[in-house]
Amino acid sequence: MRRPVKRHRLSRREELQDTRERIEREADPIGFLAAIVRGEPVAVRDYEGRLLSTEHPKMEHRVVAARELARKIAPDMKAIEVDATEGGMTINFISPIPLPNSQPTLAEQEAIEDAYLIEDHEEQET
């Protein structure tokens, strides 16, 4: 009886990189969306890849494609938290990407402090 071959399990980061490379190699979604925004004719193919016809994208499709591409350049802000305090106003922007000069959230700050406490406790034990 043959033993099954043990495969190296990819990390999440490696899986995502492999997926990105395959999509870029086989589909070129950014190029496709850019062509739609420019109004270029799009090939209509059957399941075997044979060209059946071409279609020109309608304006609403061009707008949707433009929005999708714009989100790749400038992601939407998730929320804006406003805190009015004496002597001024603090505005906290919550973004899916790190912003320049951004401060960690309260939860992130607490996680950092907890990590330092654990580290200090381990050092004291040794």
Phi, psi for 58 (deg, rounded to 5)? -75, 165
Which tens digits make up the pLDDT trace of 1-21?
566 666 678 788 889 999 989
The pTM assigned to this predicted structure is 0.49
Helix (H) or strand (E) segment spanning residue 53: strand 51-55
Which tens digits make up the pLDDT trace of 102-124?
666 677 677 767 666 666 656 66
- Give dist(CA 66, CA 34) in Å, integer: 8
Roughly how many angstroms between the first and final C-alpha of the chain, as a whole number? Answer: 50
Contact 98, 83 (CB under 8 A): no
- Give dist(CA 126, CA 123) in Å, integer: 5
Domain ranges of the chain: 12-73, 79-125
- Give dist(CA 74, CA 81) in Å, integer: 19
Q: Is 42 exposed, middle or buried (0-12, 13-18, 19+ CB in 10 A)?
A: middle
Which tens digits make up the pLDDT trace of 83-100?
556 666 665 656 655 555
Which tens digits make up the pLDDT trace of 19-62?
989 988 888 888 999 999 999 999 999 989 899 999 999 999 99
